[in-house]
A and B are shown apart, each in its own frame.
Chain A
Amino acid sequence: DGGITQSPKYLFRKEGQNVTLSCEQNLNHDAMYWYRQDPGQGLRLIYYSQIVNDFQKGDIAEGYSVSREKKESFPLTVTSAQKNPTAFYLCASSIDRAGPTTEAFFGQGTRLTVV
């Protein structure tokens, strides 16, 4: 089955720790995205990547880091510098950069809780 997989589904982190969220896709998509969603809120873009070995900051990149060493993988690290990391994190991909006929495919999401 083709799709986009996020792991883990639930993640608990102690304050001051870094944590990495996994996102893998086998759709052969060039572009990948990370969004953050807070309860009752919309989606805010953290980072996006349109091609391997390249990525750009979104609207709320502070306290986060990413890498894009492989086309299939776009892991997100939530660092200790992120002051309020508890949220639902969604990874998405699209066949290429978001042009007028491109749709986004989302993973199931990772719910991160700081304890």
Chain B
Amino acid sequence: GQQVMQIPQYQHVQEGEDFTTYCNSSTTLSNIQWYKQRPGGHPVFLIQLVKSGEVKKQKRLTFQFGEAKKNSSLHITATQTTDVGTYFCTYNFNKFYFGSGTKLNVKP
């Protein structure tokens, strides 16, 4: 099935630093969703992007969908320890295709 690749696999930052994770596909996607999984927890839906070039913000989180709809990014400004977890991108077409995830660790 269609795969979405995420980079980096791991990211360690100092609290207050910014963080970005990237999601790439070899084909055009109809949509991108982002989920966050806290350590020991389950994935929770954050946001969905469907339009080319779309940008959405949730407080310190900024989500972008590329113009060609083949890539997406999640940027966190001034990370906090509450941002710790794994961030997954996924697209859905009859079923959900999850990326491999980026595990974020924030040092206080």
Contacts and interface: CB of A to CB of B under 8 A. Distances in A.
A59 interface: yes
Interface stretch (A16-24, A63-71, A102-110): A102-110
10 contacts: A42-B88, A43-B88, A43-B101, A45-B96, A92-B43, A98-B94, A104-B33, A104-B45, A106-B44, A109-B41
**Chain B interface main SS type:** strand
B42 A108 contact: yes
Nearest 8 pairs of A and B residues by beta carbon: A98-B92, A106-B42, A42-B100, A43-B98, A100-B31, A103-B45, A42-B101, A100-B30
Interface of A: 33, 35, 40-43, 45, 48, 50, 58-59, 90, 92, 94, 97-109
**Chain A interface main SS type:** loop
A2 to B, nearest CB: 15
Nearest to B101: A42
Interface of B: 1, 6, 30-31, 33, 35, 41-45, 48, 50, 88, 90, 92-96, 98-101, 103
